Structure 1
């Protein structure tokens, strides 16, 4: 709900700006400010007050329900206004940081505040109320880490395997719940603000590159099958990156930094929020000389001759407009431009990535009974690659002889959703999704004299439904499913069709139960399915050494999970046991003198996840452990892989750390992660074995004294890979050794 912050007619813009500027320098939690919130549904009133005061007030829709708030008017502190709004509702607020509040039921004893999550059910829910294994990396956790990419934030999360690359502009690849890779594309879906960033035919997978770390509010990781809500490529789960919206008075934020390998960063953001409009505009520029990722020659003789330099520029704009009390229109535009050496010291081994993303959304709230959402997204990704195998080995080579490969992917996506509260105990979610994707690859091989273009197209239509029903005070059931229809246009090369059109239909159900044993403890059980589509180029290969297989089916999985969550006083804990059967895996097999892609593979996964986090005085420790037994059960294309571990999946993973913050002036974060041995091939041969490694990181932040127009200033020092470990995440490439970063963030 987006109710007017002031009753009656809106104040003139200059008056609103003056109020916002005053709030920029005076904390509304301490000083009295003019408050004028009309009588309305409580959810609307809380959002109106948050917009006025420039703070975040988190509340779950099932907690607020259909409660009404009385009018609150006068000069008062923010917390006094909150008390008046919540009077007689049975709710109370808890402070969570400098500018955040959480609304909870009165009488709750926990001091560690619950976290809000949207991704697990597509509706706002506390993490403890969701029948799934969920982790939220919030703004505070993001601020106390020094990472290069948003995907690097997942390294300290249970159930996630991360494989980084040595090139500065390359993004890590992530895998959830040990499902491994697929010929059909990604097995774990990445979202920005709840929507996919690429189509299944994408051959680039750089869409997250549009999102700058300074624009990131939080990350929600939902482990387990998610095709019942999000469609394809969600066998292991989904990761949703939620961007920031500007809150409160007009202001600006500037960050500068410098570190190892002559790395330097400049980023800035400006924005403001009033009762009818808010905006955030940001830009950043990162450059580095890079490091040597492949010092030794691989079996083909390739190696780095020098460090891998790189640059990464980003631009972002978000805009929110509220033309009426219960309506909001949102728009965002993001662009990323990254360039890097593919192999250091080789001018003909480079790539350039360009990504852009445009969103348009509309939200309409019918009191507390219904919420309707319409969202449109257009994405475009392109990669320009230069490479020359003839001149890579110990030779700088010639750009004239370099092979050129341009890859372009575009995706248009429509998402419709209706959340209907049929009763206080029943929420029905209905949705429709439509997506069109196109992937084009153009290449020119100067050495061999060839060139060409290939095009792949896809069309998706999805319908989903989810019913969340509270059967009793302690028992809640969640049931739903999604029906997807895929259409693939026949692939073409140089304008000549190499494949026929094909269609697939898939239905993926999900059932979850949550039972509250006591106020702080709940149990849950869930079962669901997921899939990865069978792409056209796998079905139709255009003759030659390959046979067509129009009957190729999507890869499918079914997963079972049991879990427990506990949150009390100053700590919280969670545990989950899961099993997945990943079937109809696509692989190539010889059929006489030719080859063909067939559904011949099967993987079985058993796992355990444990996590703990809490607060002991000034110390905030965390610890999580993952055990994943992911093994190949069937693979006629290579019987020697049966019974072996799936490649790039670590059986054991342990994360531990602590944040020490004795005052608002400074903090110290120490964190470490152990990743067990794993293999770079499915046969698990000795030469493909990667030894386990332990990496420790540290960061210290100081809040400097400020005055005048400055809101805050923080100086930070980070040291990653403290013990200078030499380890790999790709078969022939080593990750960065010890590196140092010094940064300064100033807010006006």
Structure 2
């Protein structure tokens, strides 16, 4: 099959080169890397035949969040599942896809796949630092089919710092807050006639808002990001205007995070604690990226944007996996809780697993934009490879009656898990936007051809014999989409579409079916003066839905990596978004409302080893999908200051598939969380800020996915100062 892929690649490349060589002529354009964005400056969101939202730089700066999940709640149809309180491990889903490690959503930075191994191991234990982004684009529905490999839910594209369009410009921001929170963010750059560059540094940290029982160890984190870009461009008068951009990025993280939550009793009595057996838990990561972007304007009708990328990510999440010989979800949490209460002079053993993994993701992608008057056509190709290399071990420890920790044995690297999951893929797409009168018709076709493999050398711990194995899945799929918008008048647009959704099977699951669905949407947009509104009904009809068993969901060791087929599933709902700006003379008052209603249903009886599904009966609802989500924001804006408030409501959620009333030990209660932010401009260069997350200090359960309860972040006050030039 690899030789077939090479032949197809050569054929497509030759066709593209032949097309552009026949059409090249002198032209003049403004220099920008528009192929790194979904929408671009020329794309009107009002014309997109589906749910399309852009969070602008101004919107991002209102609350200046470092947690991407807090940012994305302004987008209808997006679900988030908090975990650590700071957004270090984002869990994002769209239209009922499930949120676990954002594995069902296509995450990109600068239009390049950002997950460490998006085909072979999509669970995103790395996520681009959202606090340094200039713009965030979210696309769901039919138009998202251009951005595979997972096309059912949607895509999030984060646009990094652009080179300033000035000789020299920069900014420094300093923030400090409760629980040792601190942030330093600065950039400097500029652009000449033919060369531009920018350097950005972003660091944030906290001591954490939890205390470990019988220990003085902290529960916080430190994250660093460094970004550098250099762009070389031709003269505007050149026959073929071109840009060549080099992007280098480095990031690391050191966080004392855990999968150990609390029992129900301890959550109710002292929710901001951790058990002493979690004191060694630590995540250590390093991410390196090289991205080369090229743009050429071939004529008034044709332009070609190309990106080559290389991502190297390594992580070791050293965390407690068993207590007293029991896994966390099968009695280990209860043993840890009881030991912290009363040891009776005894000791307690616990295992700490080194979840050591190295990831590699690389590829090249190119998109030819063609302007045929009524037809705006895109031809795209992506050649991609990725892999996840697991090389794990388990160390054993003991807590004595005085809560002192000692190591009793050290594991040998590779003895717990020693395997490589890998993927090779080629993706082709064509997308035609055809304008006829007041109609805009979008027709797309995506083709994916991939080989996903698992080389497993087995466990070699005492008492077990390694049994090396190799499994492979060859998958190819054709994904059509069709959508339309109709301009009723200058204010009102009707939209609708149909699309085939897809997600590939996991490595090691040779008999697993693809995840496939037919997705429908129908809605309307209204824009008039200070009013904007959008309402979209969506319906996802799954022929088969996947459930992936991961440690983050509390799965037992023997089930981790397994994939389960749910068969037919229906997800339907309504997305509403409305905004109004009230003009009060010297003041203005922006008001925004976001609402999502979701109804889900399994259409089969089946059993799985997935904790959140378990034994499913036809008619059961999906877990961790709230029926109602609501966000209301209001602000007051003057010349030199502004204040904004967000009120978020999330309905109760069931944590295991079921129907009817939710059992008390399987429910995440509804909650309302309020955030506040204020800005004051000292002068045109200086600004001071004040922010409060969880203003009312709402105490709420975030998740039960690790076999115990994780708590949301309490009230947190942050002040800041920035200087720009």
TM category (shorter chain) comes to 0.7 to 0.9
**Partner residue in 2 for 1:488:** 452
CA distance in 2, matches of 1:485, 1:229: 15
**Partner residue in 2 for 1:498:** 469
Q: Cα 1:451–1:179, aligned 2, differ >3 Å: closer, same or farther?
A: closer
Matched, 1:478 2:442: yes
Structure 2 spans left out of the alignment, 5+ residues: 1-25, 259-273, 325-332, 341-346, 397-408, 459-465, 550-558, 608-613
Deviation of 1:697 (Å): 0.7
* 1:262 paired residue among 176, 180, 199: 180
Higher mean C-alpha deviation, range 246-255 or range 565-574: 246-255
- Alignment partner of 1:144: what SS? helix
**Partner residue in 1 for 2:575:** 609
1:158-237 paired onto structure 2 within 5 Å: 158-166=76-84, 168=86, 170-180=88-98, 186-198=103-115, 199-202=118-121, 205-209=124-128, 211=129, 213-214=131-132, 216-224=133-141, 228-237=145-154
Contact 2:571–2:599, Cα closer than 8 Å, also in 1: yes
Q: Cα 1:440–1:203, aligned 2, differ >3 Å: closer, same or farther?
A: farther
**Partner residue in 2 for 1:667:** 642
Higher mean C-alpha deviation, range 325-334 or range 338-347: 338-347
Higher mean C-alpha deviation, range 494-503 or range 574-583: 494-503
1:645-724 paired onto structure 2 within 5 Å: 645-663=621-639, 665-683=640-658, 685-705=663-683, 712-724=685-697
- Alignment partner of 1:499: what SS? strand
Deviation of 1:149 (Å): 2.6
Higher mean C-alpha deviation, range 238-247 or range 428-437: 238-247
Q: Which deviations, in whole Å up to 9, do the C-alpha atoms of 1:13-69 show, x marking residues without a partner?
A: xxxxxxxxxxxxxxxxxxxxxxxxxxx96x72xx37xx9xxxxxx9x99xxxxxxxx
CA distance in 1, matches of 2:596, 2:350: 49
**Partner residue in 2 for 1:745:** 722
CA distance in 1, matches of 2:159, 2:290: 15
**Partner residue in 2 for 1:374:** 306
* 1:363 paired residue among 279, 290, 295: 295
CA distance in 1, matches of 2:174, 2:81: 28
Higher mean C-alpha deviation, range 679-688 or range 518-527: 679-688
- Alignment partner of 2:665: what SS? helix
1:384-533 paired onto structure 2 within 5 Å: 384-388=316-320, 389-390=322-323, 393=336, 402-422=352-372, 424-447=373-396, 450-472=415-437, 474-493=438-457, 497-533=468-504
**Partner residue in 1 for 2:553:** none
After TM superposition, where is structure 1 displaced by more than 6 Å over at least 4 residues in a row?
A: 303-306, 394-401
Deviation of 1:367 (Å): 2.8
Deviation of 1:313 (Å): 0.9
Q: Cα 1:327–1:398, aligned 2, differ >3 Å: closer, same or farther?
A: farther
CA distance in 1, matches of 2:522, 2:580: 23
1:25-64 paired onto structure 2 within 5 Å: 44=29, 47=30
Contact 1:206–1:355, Cα closer than 8 Å, also in 2: no
**Partner residue in 2 for 1:557:** 517
CA distance in 2, matches of 1:225, 1:431: 16
Q: Cα 1:151–1:379, aligned 2, differ >3 Å: closer, same or farther?
A: farther
Matched, 1:726 2:699: yes
CA distance in 1, matches of 2:100, 2:252: 28
**Partner residue in 1 for 2:200:** 282
CA distance in 2, matches of 1:418, 1:505: 23
**Partner residue in 2 for 1:327:** 242
CA distance in 2, matches of 1:685, 1:443: 37
**Partner residue in 1 for 2:253:** 338
CA distance in 1, matches of 2:615, 2:186: 55
Q: TM-score, normalised by structure 2?
A: 0.78
Q: Cα 1:588–1:489, aligned 2, differ >3 Å: closer, same or farther?
A: closer
CA distance in 2, matches of 1:164, 1:613: 26
- Alignment partner of 2:127: what SS? helix
Deviation of 1:278 (Å): 1.8
**Partner residue in 2 for 1:582:** 542
**Partner residue in 2 for 1:71:** none
**Partner residue in 2 for 1:111:** none
CA distance in 2, matches of 1:132, 1:741: 37
Contact 2:566–2:602, Cα closer than 8 Å, also in 1: no
CA distance in 1, matches of 2:497, 2:721: 45
CA distance in 2, matches of 1:227, 1:619: 33
Give the aligned CA root-mean-square deviation in angstroms: 3.0
Deviation of 1:192 (Å): 0.9
CA distance in 1, matches of 2:211, 2:637: 36
Q: Which deviations, in whole Å up to 9, do the C-alpha atoms of 1:299-329 show, x marking residues without a partner?
A: xxxx998752111111111222102431111
Q: Which deviations, in whole Å up to 9, do the C-alpha atoms of 1:314-350 show, x marking residues without a partner?
A: 1111222102431111121122211111245644211
CA distance in 2, matches of 1:692, 1:166: 18
Q: Cα 1:561–1:293, aligned 2, differ >3 Å: closer, same or farther?
A: farther
Higher mean C-alpha deviation, range 460-469 or range 627-636: 627-636
- Alignment partner of 1:213: what SS? helix
Structure 1 spans left out of the alignment, 5+ residues: 1-39, 52-57, 62-116, 296-302, 540-548, 706-710
CA distance in 1, matches of 2:351, 2:685: 53
Deviation of 1:649 (Å): 0.9
* 1:273 paired residue among 175, 179, 191: 191
CA distance in 2, matches of 1:535, 1:428: 33
Deviation of 1:283 (Å): 0.9
Q: Cα 1:744–1:641, aligned 2, differ >3 Å: closer, same or farther?
A: farther
Deviation of 1:247 (Å): 2.2
**Partner residue in 2 for 1:147:** 65
**Partner residue in 2 for 1:621:** 591
Q: Which deviations, in whole Å up to 9, do the C-alpha atoms of 1:93-118 show, x marking residues without a partner?
A: xxxxxxxxxxxxxxxxxxxxxxxx95
- Alignment partner of 2:699: what SS? coil
Contact 1:490–1:497, Cα closer than 8 Å, also in 2: no
Q: Cα 1:649–1:483, aligned 2, differ >3 Å: closer, same or farther?
A: same
Q: Which deviations, in whole Å up to 9, do the C-alpha atoms of 1:184-231 show, x marking residues without a partner?
A: x8211111111211322236513323x4523x1211111225663112
The number of residues matched between the two structures is: 608
Contact 1:129–1:514, Cα closer than 8 Å, also in 2: yes
